[in-house]
Amino acid sequence: MWFVMRSLKLLIFSSLVALLSATSVIACSCMPTAGPEKEIEQADAVFAGKVISSKRQNGARPFDDIEVEFVVDRVWKGQVTKRFRIFTAESSASCGYRFKKNRTYLVYAYGKGNEGLQTGICSRTRRLKDAHQDLIVLGAGRRPAP
């Protein structure tokens, strides 16, 4: 009988350890982007800019935890100012884009109203140096608003 009890305790303990160490994974799943022509139609803002800061919002905005500030050089769509902020999710598992300070990006941003604009890995947002195809389609653009 002691053997059965000991085996049962070991089984319960092992199951508990396995259960507690398991993590649930929710991954981002993106459809292929439509190309720059279609994406600029769908986006609310398209601009190129250098990241000057990135900060966590402490859960103030669900799924858009990171506020990224840019110094904008060129604008193709939207009311974008010289210094402009957008939001993205904190992790790529939530479709967030991992911007790095002092790097320049071509950003396709979405959203309206007081919520602010968002972007993520499912958009055509990318490093400017990797956006040759987009820049051919987009053309010269314009300077941002002051």
Domain limits of the chain? Answer: 36-138
Answer whether 61's CB lies under 8 Å from 127's CB.
no
pLDDT at residue 61, as a whole number = 55
Say what the pTM is: 0.77
Q: Look over the chain and give the mean of its residue pLDDT values, rounded to a whole number.
A: 82
Pick the CATH number of 36-138 from 3.90.1170.50, 3.40.50.880, 1.10.10.60, 2.40.50.120: 2.40.50.120
CA dist list (Å): 56 to 22, 60, 103, 140: 27, 9, 18, 33
Residue carrying structure tokens 């110094």: 71
pLDDT, one tens digit per residue, over 56-92 is 876 655 555 899 999 999 999 999 999 999 999 888 7
pLDDT at residue 11, as a whole number = 43
Of the candidates 75, 83, 90, the residue with the CA atom closest to the CA atom of residue 44: 75
pLDDT less than 70: residues of the chain: 1-26, 58-64, 113-114
Two structure tokens written together for 86? 């957008």
pLDDT at residue 91, as a whole number = 80
pLDDT at residue 90, as a whole number = 85
In one letter, which amino acid is 30? C
Instruction: Give the DSSP H/E element, type plus range, for residue 34.
Output: none
DSSP E strands: which ranges in 6-59?
45-56
CA dist list (Å): 40 to 34, 45, 52, 113, 125: 10, 8, 24, 19, 11
Two structure tokens written together for 98? 């991992």
